[in-house]
Amino acid sequence: MECGFCGEINPEDATYCKKCGKRLDGQAVCPSCGKVVPADGEFCIYCGARLSPENVAMPNSAAQPAAAAARPAVDKDKLRGIFGLVSTICAGLSALFAFIFVFCIGSSSTFNIAGAAGDLPMVGISIYYYFGQAYGQITQDVGSFAQMCYTWGAAIGTVVCALGLAGTIACFIVAIVRFVKALTKKSGSAIGISAATYFSFVCSAVLFMVCGAGVLSANGMAAGLVLNGATIAGIVVGGIFLVASAVLDCLSRGVNAKLSEYIFNICHSVVPVILSIALVALFGAGVVMIGDAQATGQFGVSTFFEVYAMAYPSVSGEQSGEFSSDFVSSSACVIAAAVLIVICCALFVLVQKKTYNDLGHRSSGTGKALYVAAGGLASIVGVLTCISSIIFAKWASGGEAGVAAAVPVLTMIFGLLLCCYPIVFSLIGSKIKEQPDNNLAQA
């Protein structure tokens, strides 16, 4: 059979020319609806789609079922734009809730034992406690040592809480600017700074508990301080919007990405975030933890100093020197642990911005270095917590109590995992990168 377009001789049962690829019967396949139409027309007689010369000269490989030919192509740019817009809005809401609820940070008591525990602040307090009420005891005539303890506790609490508030407010201001630019297409995603704002709020709540944590349990009864409902609500609601923003941002970035490498890069970002959250939660348990068969106790910085302040009048004679030595050693560990926790939280806030900006992509060396530094400091915090708890338990119970080691040990373990994660991911990342795979849109 001779082709009417190029003159090539083809087998009698051929449908397409083996040289030019055009149909031998003078027909063409519409690229829109997949139906056979006259090849000499400019438009499809069934759906009205334009028939360009490329459409008419259909190759044999294009002779697919009509349903496959009629399947519309994915508009990747439009899909990416929708995901990006919704992601930006969710990120902005996360930052907004963090900014609102940072002023509501406080604690509530699981059991009011204020009358039985003297001056211990077992009745729920707010973050503003450290900007006024905490200093009320300093002016009382309770002795120079007790006043020093109250002063240290109040001062450390004030500095830590002020840093948390200031950091969250500063992040939120930057987030507003970035959010407006993102919506007006003047800059990229705002999810990074929104994540930093949210984590700054969470760290502020945790630092508040680092100072004021106090849990006592004995004879089947427990009393202590937990974060109040407003703080928990802010953490949950802001976290939901941040996760939604991250998921949508990942989908937006991964439309053209290789699927296996894309999933690996997501894990590369998510794993350190999970470890960071676990460490921040452990920090909120306090800096001194003791226990024995009958009772256990967890104390924050302020509570630790208040226990010493109240117990000092009962110490006299030769015990004073021993008490003073225990106080200096344990308080040095407590203050050092509190300082390192503040530094860890600051590193977490900084690195979350970079992590969320790079979701779906391989993390850079700077982000890995910050995580390693934070993990190393967290492990040191766990060691300091153990030491301060051992010394405090020896003084408080005459050596009969020990350390409630669960939290310090977990802190050290998660800190070491955070240090090691870049090595593990680097070892397996190169192999995944070499494997061929479909991209996310095809999947």
- Each of the 443 residues of the chain gets a pLDDT tens digit; together they read 677 677 778 887 777 777 777 777 777 777 666 677 777 777 777 776 777 554 454 434 343 444 444 444 445 567 677 777 888 888 889 999 999 999 999 888 776 444 444 444 456 788 888 888 777 766 665 567 777 888 888 889 899 999 999 999 999 999 888 888 877 766 666 788 888 999 999 999 999 999 888 777 776 677 777 888 899 999 999 999 998 888 887 777 654 455 666 676 677 778 888 888 999 999 988 898 887 767 788 888 988 888 887 775 554 333 444 456 778 888 899 999 999 999 999 999 988 887 777 666 655 567 788 888 999 999 999 999 999 988 888 777 666 667 888 889 999 999 999 988 877 777 765 555 555 444 444 44
Residue that the structure tokens 């700077």 belong to: 366
> Residue holding tokens 């240090």?
419
CB neighbour class for 404 (10 Å; exposed up to 12, middle 13-18, buried from 19): buried
| Amino acid occupying residue 24 | L
Whole-angstrom Cα distance, residue 189 to residue 66? 41
The pair of structure tokens assigned to 282 is 């452990």
pLDDT for res 114? 43
How far apart CA 317 and CA 297 sit, in angstroms, is: 27
Identity at 284, one-letter amino acid code: G
Q: Tell me the two tokens of residue 261.
A: 């490498």
Buried/exposed code over 335-359 (b: 16+ C-beta within 10 A; e: otherwise): bbbbbbbbebbebbbbbbbbbbbbb
**What is the number of other CB atoms lying within 10 angstroms of the CB of residue 248?**
21
Give the CA count within 13 Å in the CB-facing half-sphere of 399: 1
The model's pTM is 0.72
Question: Which contiguous run of DSSP H or E holds residue 331?
Answer: helix 319-357
Report the pLDDT value the prediction gives residue 107, as an integer from 0 to 100: 86
Go through the chain and tell me how many residues it has.
443
Query: Which secondary-structure segment (H or E) carries 36?
Result: strand 36-38
Give the pLDDT confidence score for residue 386 in this predicted structure: 92
Q: What is the pLDDT of residue 96?
A: 94
- With beta carbons less than 8 A apart as the criterion, state whether 340 and 384 touch: yes
- Say whether 402 sits in a helix, a strand or coil: strand
Check residue 377 and give its pLDDT. Answer: 94
Residue 28 vs residues 17, 68, 71, 102: alpha-carbon distances, Å? 12, 16, 18, 67
Tell me if 349 sits within 8 A of 171, measured CB to CB: yes
User: What is the full DSSP assignment across 362-401?
Assistant: PPPHHHHHHHHHHHHHHHHHHHHHHHHHHHHHHHHHTT--
Q: What is residue 129's DSSP assignment?
A: G
From CA 17, how far away is CA 8, in angstroms rounded?
7
